[in-house]
Structure 1
Amino acid sequence: MTSPDFTVRNIERLADLFPQVITESKNAEGEVTLAVDFDLLRQELSDHVVEGPQERYRLDWPGKRAAAFAANAPIAKTLRPVHEESVNFDTTKNLFIEGDNLNALKLLQESYLGKVKLIYIDPPYNTGNDFVYNDNFAETSSEYLARSSQVTPSGERLTANTESNGRFHSNWLSMMYSRLKLARTLLSDDGVIAISIDDKEAARLGQMLDELFGNDGRVAQVVVQANKGGRDYLPLAQTHEYLVIYGRTDGAGIYDLPRDTSALPLVDETGPYEARELRNRNPKFHRGNRPNLFYSFYINPDLTDEHGYSAVSLEPRSGYGIETVPRNSQGEESCWRWGRDRASDAIQVGDPRKSQLVARQVRTGSWNVYEKHRPTTQKAKTIWDETEVRTEAGTREVRAMFGAPVFDHPKPLDLLKKLISISTVPESIVMDFFAGSGSTAHAVMELNHLDGGRRQFISVQLDEACETGSVAAQHGFRTIADIGRERLRKAGDALGVLREGEDVGFRSLRVDNSNKSDVLRAADDIEQRELSSLEPSILAGRSGDDLLFQVLLDWGLELTLAIVREDVDGHEVFSVEDDALIACFAESVTPAVVRQIAERGPLRTVFRDDAFESDAARINAEQVFREISPATEVRTI
């Protein structure tokens, strides 16, 4: 009942590629385990004899190895459902997870490996203000705060990670590195990660992402005008932030934005259009290597439309006395973008209003041929300066929802909707593991409502306390996660009438310790008289819902599968996704319950191990499934 050990998995992958570099070693308990001979591995990855450490270009900092280890190390954690904080718990496909995002990313690895289309995060910008992410799993948060000098002996909070700290950049890089390393594995092959950042760490973030995603993974660095007036306390009034975008592979899925055709400058009987030159502007293409794209047009200068564009023909006709061929700006023979047959289909001889190809004289006196271009989409540009993407828009949105600015500097919805539009399809999963006030999930809801999409969101937010006396605390919010959940409830209500199947709910889950007690003991340490007093392996107070979500994680199943609660012979039974999994966590199980579940033929089924009164009873249950439903995978916990 721990998350996977990614070090072991990585060694197994290396063993498939380079079996000669795998050796044996002893761990701290003296057990023999597989290990990697790194000298041999370096040799396998080199085209020359490696005799010692080699200098190479890379981003390095104190703590980088520890951050990589933290990403791989397994944890004894689970996700526990919180029904009272959820909306439409049993049917929704959305998740809101409260807890440290490093833990959450580890727990989601099996269930969402390679399934997330877009990850957007707005992490701490490392401006010298406080950020707390406890990556030492052997200590409590209070111990961590004290050790890292973030609280005084009396418990008062101090400002963390100031620039006077010798590890100012290193601490931030280590915090980000382990999380981004895990986030990459969740992305689909065409998945995209987008990160908001400012100048303080933009350069180092880019280098880190180059390492994790490869140079080919860089998609763009978008400049976002976050504050038109600028931050005037700086030497130059800074008006911008960045949106750094990387792809899981070099085939990252980035899509065009829909275009408002009513804004096109010209119009004819068909509708709005823009005049687009037919000449091919690629200097590598010309008559010599594209002879099929070189031919003549004939122009009638007296037959024009209301915009001054003239009729054209591919054949010399009466009135069509001007011949033109494609030439570049130096007057050399070039070529057209279209072949002759396509051009013929687009021409309406004698009526430039109906024709899709027209001509016009330019200032040099020569004539150009134009296509009436009617684009329905357009590429997003690398500067986003619309009024709606500024930070002040996000502040207004939160103030309107709560009646007060309960969260500082929330990202505006239009910024996130634009990002989601260019990087997802209607069925995509969108993740934000620095969820804050829930802006990303809110944007997913609104965009689905606008375009009929069925995108799902996964939001992860640390259970960070609202500062005493803050606006949020005055409005009754205990943590930032509380603000996020309430915002999503309000956002769903504000959409009004929903279409059939539209999902504005979310399952609220909380990162917590594993459901399993630490009951491991050596046989020699147990006396006969103690056997009857041994505690059960499952923690007291853990419900069937708690155990169900542990099982979903262990089996690598998505955490949004439909759940139906049933009564079978007086026992609570969970049916997940139409009997893809049937779980019964009653503390005692009768043969009748086992048989009724087996008769339904589930793909998987699970019981509590201590629900069977003896080993013989458990073996009999397994025999029932072998006889009635042999394809069912049976487990106990």
Structure 2
Amino acid sequence: MDNIEKIDLAKVSWRSSEDFFESLGEALDKLDDKDESYDFTWVGKRKAIIEAGAPVNKTIRPDVKNSKNWDTTENLFIEGDNLDALKLLQESYLGKVKMIYIDPPYNTGKDFVYHDNFKATIEQYDEDTEYKDESGNIQFKKNEKTNGRYHSDWLSMIYPRLKLARNLLTEDGVIFISIDDNEQSNLKKICDEVFGEDNFLAQVIWERAYSPVNLKKHFSESHDYILCYARDSNRAINNGLPRSDDADSRYMNLDNDSRGAWKSSDLSVGPAIAKNVYEITLPSGRSVTPPNGYSWRLSRERLGEFIADNRIWFGADGNSVPSIKRFLSEVKNTMTPMTIWKYADVGHSQEASQSLKKLFGDKAMIDYPKPVDLIKRCMQLYSSKDSIVLDFFSGSATTAHAVMQLNAEDGGNRKWIMVQLSEETDEKSEAFKAGYKTIPEIARERIRRAGDKIAAEHPDAKVDYGFRSLVVAETNYKEVYRPAGELQQSVLLDVVDNIKEDRSELDLLFGVLTASALELNRPLETRDIAGTSVYLYDYFGEVSGLVACFAESISEDTIKQIAALKPLTAVFRDSSFPDSQAKVNLAEHFRIISPETKVKVI
């Protein structure tokens, strides 16, 4: 600290507090900061980091009645807090999601509905930011809108979700995040930390409005941002965009070349390469040289080859500066995307609202949905035809709609996973009056209607229009911990069966799938074996899948027939067996009939 100039407060005549801070700032500017580093932080960050890694005591329950094509579909709609859902999906979908699109709350002060238990209270905020003196008295506070909790709450909400989402991406996977000016700068910093600055691909500007709002005081905002990050930018592959008619219209065939349409490209390039600075004699007899500081792209020898192959254009009169002919037939059939996406290409907010309204019989269901074409473009760029696409702020399920639409158009078999909080609709809204009490109800109905519409428009397309509806719920198991004083005989008898009374066999199956890190969208079959209902999950013959039986009692014949299926895993309910000897017999049957099967009892 010797290199800081000493400020003698006794010799300073302060006219205002600004004088003090100006002098202090000048001195601090002289501080050698070689040992310091940039760090992005906020009140509650430590808790957010801890929350990202904290275990979740929840499970996923099936919701068959609200599903479509339950047994065969490979799409998932999960209702519940996305923080819990992401944790429950961690093992099953680790490194399997090719593309994520999310449209999180923009933190406008009106759209924040995620209230995590790590949010800072006012008291915690004052304490953490040292706005109290040693006696505990508040010294001063910052503007809540621009500093502190207003942004801290949002940052603490988004951080653990992005940390968990990154784990789900494939090595070549990409995430797109819609945002506006309220949190764009903060989101960029968080993404740099979570995904790495080197994995930043682009900040797209989406033109979401086509006309100004004249009531605005200063500017009428006409765009949102879409941040794009890769899990590993060295592995991510941009598919490019299909060539447009406008791009192709720039190619013409002025000399009736048999190779078809072409457009001219400048033959000169800078800075100059000495050996490629030479004189070219045109067919008209005129001689030309490259502009000052430039040279020709081609060597003298290479130019001769191009002229012989009719790849140099000298103009219709043979007197123009030469240019290279680029043939449409030889260019890539895709174009590199630009970072400004016009509403004419990907739609705008009003168009998206009108399309959704039309889908629901001219009833407005949700505010500010994203256009289907916007999310389709994201998928065109960074998904393959068999990718898994995730949206964990799915709203009205525009992403699911976009996946089905693109699959119908390009023959893809992309699968989707939507996650949406059980947010209630406003009682005054058209959605509520139409019978939709929650956003997930709107989303599921939107998927059904969109699927029917796409199927009618593409009758020959083989698209999975179904979905398994699932719900994040409390664990299937009873809380068996009791203080020592409560360990009475009645309590011990009560927990012999540790499964909650309201849980079905299907609940238990999906609890096992989640705990076993198995994907939740594989084929499911229910089969009667020796008079007992048995579930065959992702089973295609010997040494495959999982077979489960949770009946109240299981006969020896049923056990033998299940063992004869020789699945990879067999799961049973502990209370199905009357005593320990019955479980010993279970193990023995599998040891003899199917020794490779892993047997579990819950």
Which of 587, 601, 609 pairs up with 2:574?
Answer: 609
Quote how far apart the aligned CAs of 1:360 are: 3.4
Identify the residue that residue 537 of structure 2 maps to in structure 1: 576
Give unmatched runs, 5+ long, in structure 2: 1-33, 126-142
Partner of 2:298: 336
1:505 aligns with 2:466: yes
Residue in 2 that maps onto 1:451 = 410
1:42-93 deviations in whole A, cap 9, x for unaligned? xxxxxxxxxxx96421211000111111111111111111111111111111
1:598, CA displacement in angstroms? 1.0
Alignment-derived partner of residue 96 in structure 2: 115
Q: What is the identity, as a one-letter code, of the residue corresponding to 2:327?
A: K
Cα distance in 2 for partners of 1:73, 1:362 equals 75
What SS class does the counterpart of residue 410 from structure 1 fall into? coil
**In 1, are the aligned partners of 2:259 and 2:327 still within 8 Å (CA)?**
no
> Does structure 1 retain, via aligned residues, the 8 Å contact 2:59–2:474?
yes
> Distance between the aligned counterparts of 1:85 and 1:331, measured in 2?
69
Evaluate the alpha carbon distance shift between residue 297 and residue 191 of structure 1 in structure 2; reply closer, same or farther with a 3 A threshold. Answer: farther
Counterpart of 1:225, as a letter, is E
Partners of 1:615 and 1:367 in 2: CA distance:
91
Q: Which residue of 2 aligns with 1:390?
A: 348
Give 1:559's aligned residue. 520
Q: Which shows bigger deviation, 215-224 or 271-280?
A: 271-280
Residue number in structure 1 paired with 2:501: 540
Matches within 5 A, 1:306-317: none
Distance in 2, matches of 1:107 and 1:68, equals 17
Query: Partners of 1:611 and 1:245 in 2: how far apart?
Result: 51
The question of 1:91 aligning with 2:48 is answered no
Q: Is the CA contact (8 Å cut-off) linking 2:534 and 2:549 kept in structure 1?
A: yes
Cα contact 1:287–1:334 (8 A) shared by 2: no
**Pair 1:340–1:571, CA change in 2 (3 A):** farther
1:266 is aligned, of 252, 255, 261, to 252
Task: Report the Cα offset of residue 279 of structure 1.
Answer: 3.7
Matches within 5 A, 1:57-68: 57-68=38-49
Cα deviation code 1:80-116 (max 9, x no counterpart): 1111111111111111111111111000001111111
Q: Deviations over 1:178-227 (max 9, x none)?
A: 11111111111111111111111111110110011111011000111111
* Matched pairs, number: 533
Is the partner of 1:89 in helix, strand or coil? coil
CA RMSD in angstroms comes to 3.2
Q: Do structure 1's residue 277 and structure 2's residue 265 form an aligned pair?
A: yes
SS of equivalent to 1:616: helix
What residue is the counterpart of 1:35 in the other structure? none
How far did residue 530 of structure 1 move? 5.6
The equivalent position to 2:218 in structure 1, one of 235, 257, 269, is: 235
Q: How does 1:80-479 map to 2 (within 5 A)?
A: 80-136=61-117, 163=145, 166-232=148-214, 233-251=216-234, 252-261=236-245, 262-267=248-253, 268=256, 273-277=261-265, 279=267, 281=269, 283=271, 286=273, 300=283, 329-330=291-292, 332-336=294-298, 340=302, 355=310, 357-360=312-315, 366-374=321-329, 375=331, 376-387=333-344, 388-402=346-360, 403-479=362-438
Please tell me the residue identity of whatever aligns with 2:335: Q
C-alpha distance after superposition, 1:381-425 (max 9, x if no partner): 100113342111101111110112111110011111111111111
Question: TM-score with structure 1 length normalisation?
Answer: 0.77
Shift of 1:617: 1.3
SS of the residue aligned with 1:511?
strand
Residue 369 to residue 527, structure 1, CA distance change in 2 (3 Å)? closer
Structure 2 residue identity aligned to 1:275: K
Do 2:76 and 2:467's aligned partners in 1 also have CA atoms closer than 8 Å?
yes
CA distance 1:415–1:531, shift in 2 (3 Å):
closer
Going from structure 1 to structure 2, the CA distance change for 1:475 and 1:619 (only over 3 Å counts) comes to same
Residue identity in the other structure for 2:562:
I
Cα displacement string for residues 478-507 of structure 1 (whole angstroms, at most 9, x for unaligned residues)? 101111100000001001154464211111
Going from structure 1 to structure 2, the CA distance change for 1:282 and 1:559 (only over 3 Å counts) comes to farther
Q: Calculate the TM-score normalised by the size of structure 2.
A: 0.81
Distance 1:601 1:399, change over 3 A: same
User: Distance between the aligned counterparts of 2:280 and 2:72, measured in 1?
Assistant: 62
For 1:582 and 1:323, the matched residues in 2 are separated by: 83
**Counterpart selection for 1:482 from 433, 437, 441:** 441
Any conservation in 1 of the 2:505–2:550 contact (CA below 8 Å)?
yes
- Structure 2 distance, partners of 1:515, 1:69, is 25
Q: Which residue of 2 is the match for residue 4 of structure 1?
A: none
Deviation, structure 1 residue 533: 4.1
Quickly say closer, same or farther: Cα 1:359–1:407, change in 2 above 3 A.
same
Counterpart Cα distance in 2 of 1:625 and 1:459: 39
Whole-angstrom CA distance in 2 between matches of 1:338 and 1:609: 84
| 1:128-177: CA deviation from partner (whole Å, max 9, x where unpaired) | 1142223229x9xxxx9xx99xxxxxxxxxxxx98389510100111111
Query: Aligned equivalents of 1:634 and 1:296: distance in 2?
Result: 83
CA distance in 2 between counterparts of 1:222 and 1:282 reads 30
Distance 2:447 2:186 in 1: 33
- Which deviations, in whole Å up to 9, do the C-alpha atoms of 1:572-606 show, x marking residues without a partner? 11111125111111122222111111111101111
What secondary structure is seen at the aligned counterpart in 2 of 1:228?
coil
Determine if contact 2:45/2:156 at 8 Å carries over to the other structure.
yes
User: What is the deviation of 1:241?
Assistant: 0.9
- Judge conservation of contact 1:564–1:574 (CA < 8 Å) in 2: yes
Distance 1:220 1:560, change over 3 A: same
State how far apart, in whole Å, the 2-side matches of 1:363 and 1:474 are. Answer: 74
Output the CA distance in 1 between the equivalents of 2:240 and 2:300: 23
SS at match of 2:393: coil
What displacement does 1:300 show?
4.6
Alpha-carbon distance in structure 2 between the residues aligned to 1:356 and 1:474: 67
SS in 2 for 1:112: coil
Contact 1:279 1:337 in 2 (8 A): no
Q: Secondary structure at the residue paired with 2:101?
A: strand
Q: State the distance in 1 between where 2:416 and 2:86 align.
A: 14
Cα contact 2:268–2:294 (8 A) shared by 1: no
Contact 2:61–2:510 (CA<8 Å) still a contact in 1?
yes
For 1:622, what is the secondary structure of its paired residue?
helix
Paired with 1:300 and 1:165, the residues of 2 have a C-alpha distance of 70
Aligned-pair CA distance for 1:636: 1.2
Could you say what secondary structure the match of 1:360 adopts? Answer: coil
